[in-house]
Amino acid sequence: MTVSLLERLEGGLIVSCQPVDDGPLDTVEAIVAFALAARDGGARALRIEGAVNVAAVAKACDLPIVGIVKRDLDGFPVRITPYLDDVNDLADAGAHIIAVDATDRPHPVSVPALLAAIHARGRLAMADLADISEATHAKALGFDIIGTTMSGYTGGPIPREPDLEFLAACRTLGGTVVAEGRYNTPAAAAAAMRAGASAVCVGSAITRTEHVTGWFRSAVDGAAASRDETVLALDIGGTKTLAALVRDGIVLDRRTLPTPGAVATPEWFDSIAGLVAGWEGRYRRVGAAVTGVIDDGHWFALNPTTLSIPERTPLVAELERRLAVPTVALNDAQAAAWGEFSRGAGIGRDMAFVTVSSGIGGGAVLNGRLITGARGLAGSLGQIQGSPAAPRLESRASGFAIAAAAGAAGHPADTRAVFAAADAGESWATGILHAAAADLAIGLCDLQRMLDPALVVLGGGIGLLPAFRAVLDQELAGLPSRLRPAVVPAQLGADAGIIGVADFVCAPA
């Protein structure tokens, strides 16, 4: 029986039917209804609190029950099944598995004594734990199931995310491991299975309507409030710096100056602050969309020929010091990607954004999240090389590349001149455009292979030119259909970066 029950849990969902204490659903009848609904939805087992509730659920439902008793004790921090009488009451009520707090905190009855009592009643024992040292000890004691239930709940601030690292460590101990504790989205539950969980226990997201309502209310309230908030958005490029006041996707005011050459000097930062002088009090947050890479608030050059940025420039700290409000910084193409996702051509869809202008940049939004990467490099399509000896895509398919190819062929090194010549039917110019478009088409297909977005939003001064798009479409048509991305034109134009970074600053965390 022990083996078959553990096997039954393997790869399954456990639903914790524990309503909010003293809430409108905290009745025996409601808990039985939750249990039956969970069964009908495909749950493999249930976690039920209290012997009376366990007995009622056991009578109405044939799923295995993990039984617990919760108590608030004077002098002891533990709450889950602290007494031997609790073990016996749960066993009498029909619990198949009995869970106890097996953390290293003081207990009124020792953990080994509770474990012995559970086994004496012929039940499986589950240890609710907070860290790997406790899990190792519980495994050595002989617990049948290890649970991550207490991670984050034994002191200090409660984390928002589940503890996948602890879960993966428990997996190395072998046996049955139940992921429990803040697994409140389908994605989190799936991540637990990938991290090695035998089963995942979900509670609040299913049976605590008050909590779920609160989550949605907070998201709606935050989004509604952000619509009325004005953000100072900066767009710092290689030649021009733009400052704009943006509210709800609308640019209220803007100012520009040529980007000073001596980047990141005190005088350079002072010039940025001077650009927005007089706007004090009109904004409470700043979003900066910048050429280059942002990593932990520090600024790095991605292509030093575009803007020579000193290594680890503390961009966010310097802007906050001068502007005296919280600041967020993003790569400019990543900011534009978020803009097109939130208000442009890719609203609400998995998408990649690629900008083709003097250079090539990119960003991606997947599952509603901007992908910046561990080092801020995600989406940098223009920096991809086919081999160590090959030049970057940006050096082969950007505006600079088109101009350079014209100059190498003995023609004016001017992008506009190349397009004019191509429009006039001159073969040398059409050849340059086709070569650039062919390289970009392969890069877009590689992007499709890596991320497989629903669509690719193409922007930038060159990317949006009908003449270039027509050539690109020809090159894409010659590639395998399964690899071809669905390419759509960007809708926000040159303001995608400032609109995107303003929206990103206001987006709920």
Residue 1's pLDDT is 43
- Say if residues 501 and 328 touch (Cβ distance below 8 Å): yes
pLDDT tens by residue, 465-504:
999 999 999 999 999 998 899 999 999 999 999 999 999 9
Q: What average pLDDT score do residues 352-363 get?
A: 94
The fraction of the chain above a pLDDT of 70, given in percent, is: 99
Whether 230-334 shares its CATH topology with 345-490 is answered yes
CA 22 – CA 271 distance, rounded (Å): 59
Number of helices (H), then strands (E), belonging to the chain: the values are 19, 20
Give the Cα separation of 48 and 80 in Å (integer): 12
Q: Mapping DSSP to helix (H, G, I), strand (E, B) and coil, where does residue 13 land?
A: strand
pLDDT at 147 over 50: yes
Query: Which residues are CB-contacts of 279 (< 8 A; sequence separation ≥ 6)?
Result: 232, 243, 245, 253
- DSSP-derived 3-state class of residue 308: coil
At 349, is the pLDDT very low, low, confident or very high (cuts 50, 70, 90)?
very high
List, for residues 150-201, the tens digit of each pLDDT value: 999 999 999 999 999 999 999 999 999 999 999 999 999 999 999 999 999 9
Poorest-pLDDT segment among 88-102, 154-168, 223-237, 449-463: 223-237
Average predicted confidence (pLDDT) for the chain: 94
Please check whether residue 167 is in contact with residue 179, taking contact to mean a CB–CB distance below 8 angstroms. Answer: yes
- Given a contact cutoff of 8 angstroms between Cβ atoms, the answer to whether 159 and 134 are in contact is no
Cα 210 to Cα 52, 264, 278: the distances in Å are: 23, 49, 45
DSSP 481: G
Q: How far apart are CA 206 and CA 401, in angstroms?
A: 55
Q: Find the mean pLDDT for residues 459-463.
A: 95
Q: Which residues contact 369 (CB under 8 A, 6 or more apart)?
A: none
The CATH number of domain 345-490 is 1.10.510.10: no
Q: Give the list of residues 6+ apart from residue 253 with CB closer than 8 angstroms, or none.
A: 244, 245, 279
Least confident of 6-20, 172-186, 363-377, 382-396: 382-396
Mean pLDDT of the 247-274 span: 92
Listed by start position, the domains of the chain span 2-214, 230-334, 345-490
What CA–CA distance (Å, rounded) separates 503 from 492? 13
* pLDDT over 90, % of the chain: 87
Is the CATH number 3.40.50.620 carried by domain 230-334? no
**Secondary structure class of 266 (helix, strand, coil):** helix
Are 35 and 47 in contact, with CB atoms under 8 Å apart?
no
Question: Do the Cβ atoms of 138 and 174 come closer than 8 Å?
Answer: no
Reply yes or no on whether the pLDDT at 13 is more than 70: yes
C-alpha 447/C-alpha 393 separation (Å) is 12
Q: Answer whether residue 38 shows pLDDT above 80.
A: yes
pTM of the shown model:
0.69
Strands 250-258, 199-202: pairing kind: unpaired
Q: Which residue has the higher pLDDT, 228 or 358?
A: 358
**CATH of span 2-214:** 3.20.20.70
| pLDDT tens per residue across span 47-91 | 999 999 999 999 999 999 999 999 999 999 999 999 999 999 999
Asked whether the predicted pLDDT for residue 3 surpasses 60, the reply is no
User: Rounded to whole angstroms, how far apart are CA atoms 367 and 231?
Assistant: 25
Q: What is the DSSP letter of 392?
A: P
What are the angstrom distances between the C-alpha of 2 and each of 43, 55, 96, 301, 411? Answer: 19, 21, 10, 60, 81
Residues 6+ apart with CB under 8 A from 389: none
Question: pLDDT value at position 228?
Answer: 80
What value does the mean pLDDT take over residues 355-366? 94
The pLDDT assigned to 300 comes to 93
d(CA 504, CA 95): 48
C-alpha to C-alpha distance for 290 and 294, rounded to whole angstroms: 8
The reported pLDDT for the residue numbered 105 is: 97
Name the pLDDT band for 388 (thresholds 50, 70, 90).
confident
Which residues lie closer than 8 Å to 85 by C-beta, 6 or more apart? Answer: none
pLDDT at residue 233 tops 90: yes
Rounded to an integer, the average pLDDT of 408-431 is: 96
Residue entry with tokens 């497989």: 452
- CA dihedral in degrees (221, 222, 226, 228; nearest 10)? 20
Residue 271 binned pLDDT confidence (cut-offs 50, 70, 90): very high
Q: Among candidates 62, 67, 122, 112, which has minimal Cα distance to 93?
A: 67
Strand order in the sheet with 487-489: 369-371, 360-366, 351-356, 455-459, 487-489
**CA 301, 307, 313, 314: dihedral to nearest 10 degrees?**
-110
DSSP letter for each residue of 149-212:
TTTT-SSSPPPSS--HHHHHHHHTT-SEEEEESS--SHHHHHHHHHTT-SEEEE-HHHH-HHHH
